[in-house]
Amino acid sequence: MASCELDLIGMDELMEKLNELGQKGTKAINKALEKGAEPILQNMKNTDVFDDRSGRLRDSLKVSKVKTRKNVKFVWIGDVDREAIWGWYIENGTSKHVATPFMRPAWREEKEKALKIIKEEMSNVLKDLSEGV
C-alpha cells in the first residue's frame, strides 16, 4: 500500500493574511458607510425648511455607529440619541401641523454622492489590500 505525505509551507502565514483581510474589510466597510452618510447629514443640518430656534435639533443630528441586521450593515442618520424627538414631528407632521420634511429630501438629494463616497472608499481599501497580499 502506498502512502503520501504533504507539507504545506507557509500555510500559517496564509491563514493569518486571510484573517487580517477579513478584519480590515469589516473595518473598511464600517468606515465607508460612516463617510458616505456625511453628505446626507450635512444636508439635514444645513436645511432652512424649519426654524430651529434653540439649535438643539440640528445639534442632535448625527450618524449612528454601524449596525448589522440580517447580515446587512447600515447606519442611522438623524437624531439617533433621541435628544430632540420633535424632529420626527417636523418631518412627518401632526394633526395640527403640516409636515416639513428635511430628512427624506436630504436623502434624495445626496444619495448619489453618498454612494460615490462609499464606492471610492471601498475601491481604495481593495487596492491597499491587494497590494499587501
The gap between the terminal CA atoms of the chain, to the nearest Å, is 40
**In which band, very low, low, confident or very high, does the pLDDT at 10 lie, cut at 50, 70 and 90?**
low
Interval 13-54: pLDDT, tens: 655 665 666 777 788 888 989 999 999 999 999 999 988 889
Residue ranges per structural domain of the chain: 25-118
Return the amino acid letter for 75.
V
Residue 64: per-residue pLDDT: 94
CB proximity list for 108: less than 8 A, separation 6 or greater: none
**In which band, very low, low, confident or very high, does the pLDDT at 6 lie, cut at 50, 70 and 90?**
very low
Question: Do 75 and 64 contact (CB within 8 A), yes or no?
Answer: yes
Q: What is the three-class DSSP state of 103?
A: helix
As a whole number, the mean pLDDT across the chain is 84
User: Is 121 a residue whose pLDDT tops 80?
Assistant: yes
CA distance 133 to 131: 6
